[in-house]
Amino acid sequence: MRAGLQLAAAGLVSVAVSCTHVTSAPAESRTNVVIIDDASRGVGLERFHFIGRWERVRGREDGRWGGTSTRSPHFGSSVSAAIKGYRFRLYGVTGPNGGIGRLGLDEHTKFAMLDFYSARKRTHVLLYTSPILAQGLHAIAVSVNGTHDRRSRGTYVNIDSLAVDSH
């Protein structure tokens, strides 16, 4: 199915994407993995596009990809990325001030909820692995939900990187 994707809240204008889900990985034996760091910013393929109030955390040698992450506690702040592949993994930083993020994939504005809470700060945490998707263009968006786990003291959504599998 072809659909015009409207993720205006995530700052992604309108992108036509294929949103066919498949049940197994492509038959090719070679998988290419592209890592998109939070420092790869802008509009376009394999870049993070941040909308709203975000803070860049730099110079950390604590396990974050490239020593950086980008975080926001502000409801409605969002980040989007256009990728080309058949699967992705989203990594972030969790901690006592972690909140809930809402993940949108292709035409689904609420595909999954992501919990950025942990009792202690943890870096480069695998927050989400997508199902196997049709090889092609896909749009991903994460927004700050403004809510949190009952144990959390904050609503931070903290993005580290995205790993995309393609062939």
* 24 occurs within a structural domain: no
Q: Return the pLDDT at 58.
A: 81
DSSP string for 31-67 = -EEEEEETT-BSSSBT-EEEESS-EEE-S--SS-GGG
How many residues does this entry show for the chain?
Answer: 167
Q: Return the pLDDT at 62.
A: 83
Domain extent for 126: 2-19+29-166
Q: pLDDT tens track of the chain, all 167 residues?
A: 333 333 333 343 333 333 444 445 555 558 899 999 999 999 999 999 999 999 999 877 887 888 999 999 999 999 999 999 999 999 999 999 999 999 999 988 778 999 999 999 999 999 999 999 999 999 999 999 999 999 999 999 999 999 999 99
Q: Return the pLDDT at 21.
A: 46
Instruction: Note whether 82 and 141 are within 8 A (CB).
Output: no
Instruction: Note whether 115 and 100 are within 8 A (CB).
Output: yes
CATH number at residue 135: 2.60.120.260
d(CA 160, CA 71) in angstroms, rounded, equals 9
* 134 occurs within a structural domain: yes
d(CA 88, CA 97) in angstroms, rounded, equals 26
* 68 occurs within a structural domain: yes
* 128 occurs within a structural domain: yes
For the chain, how many structural domains are there in total? 1
* 136 occurs within a structural domain: yes
- How far is Cα of residue 162 from the mean position of the Cα atoms in its chain? 6
Global pTM reads: 0.81
* Direct distance between the N- and C-terminal alpha carbons of the chain, in angstroms, rounded to an integer: 21
Q: Return the pLDDT at 27.
A: 53
* 154 occurs within a structural domain: yes
d(CA 49, CA 153) in angstroms, rounded, equals 27
Q: What is the DSSP letter of 66?
A: G
d(CA 110, CA 141) in angstroms, rounded, equals 9
Q: Return the pLDDT at 63.
A: 77
d(CA 167, CA 146) in angstroms, rounded, equals 37
The residue among 121, 79, 118, 114 whose CA lies nearest residue 100 is: 114
Q: Return the pLDDT at 30.
A: 84
